[in-house]
């Protein structure tokens, strides 16, 4: 979706043309036909509502659309404006119209608020039709551009920042959407190169031999059943003070999770192509940060593996030695995410001594049982970091809800044969998974773990996404960087 700014006053005959209106405040200058269409559609300007009508203007037929921005004083006004933009693209995406002009002439919206409308419009328009060869004309997206007219001074600059964010979210969605025969550790790395080379992000990749030399027995144990070579992808963005400690984002990148020898049941197993959603979010936020030249030092690390059953796969009961030196009894080969993350986190601490670590992972089905698809789970050893992430979640729309941790949960993963086992009992499954990762975090290191299992994929359209990959994670991390690491 192109966002174009058009200069000068708008001709009366431009069609289709849209306006954002506040709730219960339909502009008086609209034609009676438009007002009647709004009434007939029960359109009151609530966030996310849209309607349209055809009117005669200067001898031409003009399609006029309205989108609701909700209550002008609402505290979630930004989200409401995103929904207004999203409602417009959802309505016009396959309408046959190639361009939609949004007329902000006379608006009371600030530049950042207009940018929110545009962000919602762009994000909601994203879809991935690469593998559809038989779409008929009416099913194909027709809308190629949003033209912005009459926006207040400063909107283009505000939009440039949000456009970078949109690129990051879209990159994540692409990675999450690609099937596992296309996206596997090596091809994930290739795509990262393709999108990040030239942006100022420095990429490094550790291969199997290098990881073996470092003693990453847990990560490599997961990879052992797959013919796909594992990779540790490292992306560095140094936009902050020279020599300043980076903040590290670490992503679970299981490009397909069959469960391994603890094989998952067939129903729904195809979903496990998006078991790399944490890594996808990390790659996406690195792109966003670089594109908007964030004034912060951030490093993104993705542990990329495929979890397969095989003659060479690891077995339940195997004991692996992690890079930290701690040993793990692998009770269930399907609890593989934590095995990938523990070595990725150990390496991150040794390599970067970061200021803080935030890991993201589609780690447990139990997280979806707890929180559904509304909040990602937040686990943290540091209240300040937790508070900042919760605030970033609220502000960005990638919402988080804090979960408990503690020693009573921790002892549930003690093992009779090794330092720990990789699963606890069924109860509190997301918490024991977090406790497991916590055992690899150095004393004094601020750390948060985001279990985003319920968030990276949607079975129905949402606020600013169609069904499919949501891009969850990019926005909360970007907002966390903006509000806490920059300026």
Residues within the interface to Mn ion (CB under 5 A): 257, 334, 336
Question: Annotated catalytic, 264?
Answer: yes
Count of alpha carbons within 13 Å of 179, Cβ hemisphere only? 6
Among 242, 280, 252, residue whose Cα is nearest residue 340:
252
CB-based contact 232:205 (threshold 8 Å): yes
In the bound state with ligand BES, the residue whose beta carbon lies nearer, of 251 and 446, is 251
Q: What 8-state DSSP symbol labels residue 448?
A: E
Question: With respect to Mn ion, which residue has the nearer C-beta, 52 or 334?
Answer: 334
How far, in whole angstroms, is CA 446 from its chain's centroid? 22
Catalytic residue among 46, 264, 293, 402: 264
Q: Which does 233 bind (CB under 5 to 8 A by kind): ligand BES, Mn ion, Zn ion, none?
A: none
Those residues with Cβ within 8 angstroms of residue 334's Cβ, 6 or more apart along the chain or in another chain: 257, 259, 260, 262, 263, 264, 307
* Nearer to ligand BES (CB atom), residue 329 or residue 336: 336
CB of 249 to Zn ion, least distance (A): 18
Beta pairing, strands 297-307 & 231-238: antiparallel
Asked if 448 contacts 437 with a C-beta cutoff of 8 angstroms, the reply is no
Per-residue buried b or exposed e for 309-321, using 16+ beta carbons within 10 Å of the residue's own CB: beeebbeeebbbb
Looking up tokens 């690491």, which residue turns up? 485
- Could you tell me how far CA 363 lies from the centroid of its own chain? 15
Nearer to ligand BES, 188 or 352 (CB): 188
Buried b (16+ CB within 10 A) or exposed e, 152-167: eeebeebbebbbbbbb
Strands (E), 345-392: 356-361, 376-380
> Which residue is at the shortest CB distance from ligand BES?
365
**Coarse DSSP helix, strand, coil percentages of the chain, rounded to the nearest 5 percent:** 35, 20, 40
Residue closer to Zn ion by CB (options 342, 395) is 342
Q: How far is the CB of 127 from ligand BES (least distance, A)?
A: 22
Min dist CB 435 to ligand BES, Å, is 12
The nearest distance, CB 438 to ligand BES, in angstroms, is 16
Torsion from C-alpha of 191, 192, 194, 199, nearest 10 degrees: 160
Report in angstroms how near the CB of residue 273 gets to ligand BES at its nearest: 11
Residue 84, SS3 per DSSP: helix
Interacting partner of 296 out of ligand BES, Zn ion, Mn ion, none (Cβ under 5 to 8 A depending on kind) = none
3-state secondary structure of 332: coil
Q: Which residues pair with 457 in a beta bridge?
A: 469
Residue 9: CB atoms within 10 Å: 9
**Minimum gap (Å) between residue 363 Cβ and Mn ion:** 9
| Angle formed at CA 185 by CA 184 and CA 187, multiple of 5 degrees | 65
484 binds, among ligand BES, Zn ion, Mn ion, none (CB under 5 to 8 A by kind): none
| Residue of closest CB approach to Zn ion | 257
* Closest distance to ligand BES from the beta carbon of 443 (Å): 26
DSSP state, 274?
G
- Given a contact cutoff of 8 angstroms between Cβ atoms, the answer to whether 433 and 339 are in contact is no
Q: Binding residues for ligand BES, per CB under 6 A?
A: 257, 271, 275, 332, 334-337, 362-366, 368, 423, 429, 453
- Give 150 or 337: the residue with its C-beta nearer to ligand BES: 337
Binding partner of residue 364 among Zn ion, Mn ion, ligand BES, none, CB cut-off 5 to 8 Å per kind: ligand BES
Nearer of residues 45 and 259 to Mn ion, judged by Cβ:
259
Q: In what order do the strands lie in the sheet with 99-103?
A: 2-6, 145-149, 99-103, 17-21, 60-68, 50-57
**To the nearest whole angstrom, how small is the minimum distance from the Cβ of residue 434 to Mn ion?**
15
Question: If contact means CB under 5 to 8 A according to the sort of partner, which of Mn ion, ligand BES, Zn ion, none does residue 381 touch?
Answer: none
Dihedral of the alpha carbons of 27, 28, 30, 36, in degrees to the nearest 10: 90
Query: Which residue number, 355 or 368, has a Cβ lying nearer to ligand BES?
Result: 368
Least Cβ distance, residue 426 to ligand BES (angstroms):
8
User: Could you list the residues that contact Zn ion (CB under 5 A)?
Assistant: 254, 257, 275, 337
Which residues on neighbouring strands pair with residue 378, listed in sequence order?
A: 402, 450
Q: Which is nearer to Zn ion, 256 or 465 (CB)?
A: 256
Catalytic residue, chosen from 252, 292, 338, 475, is: 338
* Distance, CA of 450 to CA of 252 (rounded, Å): 10
Distance CA 295, CA 302 (A): 22
Active site positions, annotated: 264, 338
């Amino acid at each position: 979706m192109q966002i174009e700014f058009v200069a000068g006053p708008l001709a009366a005959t431009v069609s289709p043309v849209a306006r954002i209106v506040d709730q219960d405040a339909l502009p008086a200058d609209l034609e009676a036909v438009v007002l009647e269409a709004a009434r007939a559609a029960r359109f009151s300007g609530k966030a996310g509502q849209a309607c349209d009508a055809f009117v005669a203007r200067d001898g031409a037929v003009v399609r006029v659309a309205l989108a609701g921005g909700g209550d002008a004083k609402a505290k979630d006004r930004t989200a409401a404006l995103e929904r207004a933009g999203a409602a417009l693209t959802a309505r016009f995406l396959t309408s046959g119209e190639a361009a939609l002009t949004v007329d902000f002439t006379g608006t009371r919206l600030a530049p950042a608020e207009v940018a929110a409308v545009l962000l919602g419009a762009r994000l909601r328009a994203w879809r991935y039709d690469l593998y559809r060869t038989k779409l008929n004309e009416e099913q194909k997206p027709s809308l190629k551009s949003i033209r912005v007219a009459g926006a207040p001074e400063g909107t283009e600059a505000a939009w440039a920042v949000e456009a970078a964010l949109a690129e990051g979210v879209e990159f994540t969605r692409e990675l999450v959407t690609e099937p596992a025969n296309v996206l596997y550790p090596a091809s994930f790395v290739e795509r990262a190169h393709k999108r990040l080379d030239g942006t100022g992000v420095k990429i490094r990749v550790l291969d199997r031999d290098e990881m073996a030399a470092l003693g990453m027995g847990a990560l490599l144990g997961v990879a052992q059943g797959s013919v796909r070579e594992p990779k540790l992808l490292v992306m560095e963005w140094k936009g902050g003070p020279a020599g300043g400690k980076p903040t590290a984002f670490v992503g679970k990148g299981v490009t397909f999770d069959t469960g391994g020898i603890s094989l998952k049941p067939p129903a729904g197993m195809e979903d496990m192509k998006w078991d790399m959603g944490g890594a996808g979010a990390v790659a996406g936020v690195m792109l966003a940060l670089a594109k908007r030249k964030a004034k912060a030092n951030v490093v993104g690390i993705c542990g990329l593996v495929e979890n397969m059953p095989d003659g060479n796969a690891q077995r339940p009961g195997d004991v692996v030695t992690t890079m930290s030196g701690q040993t793990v009894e692998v009770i269930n080969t399907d609890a593989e995410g934590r095995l990938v993350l523990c070595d990725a986190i150990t390496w991150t601490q040794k390599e970067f001594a970061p200021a803080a670590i935030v890991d993201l992972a589609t780690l447990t089905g139990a997280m979806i049982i707890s929180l559904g698809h509304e909040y990602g789970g937040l686990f943290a050893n540091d209240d300040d970091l937790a508070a900042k992430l919760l605030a970033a979640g609220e502000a960005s729309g990638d919402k988080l809800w804090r979960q408990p941790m503690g020693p009573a949960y921790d002892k549930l993963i003690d093992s009779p044969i090794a330092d720990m086992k990789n699963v606890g009992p069924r109860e509190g499954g997301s918490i024991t998974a977090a406790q497991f990762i916590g055992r690899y975090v150095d004393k004094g290191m601020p750390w948060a773990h985001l279990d985003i299992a319920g968030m990276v994929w949607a079975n129905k359209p949402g606020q600013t996404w169609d069904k499919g990959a949501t891009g969850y994670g990019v926005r909360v991390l970007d907002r966390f960087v903006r509000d806490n690491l920059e300026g």
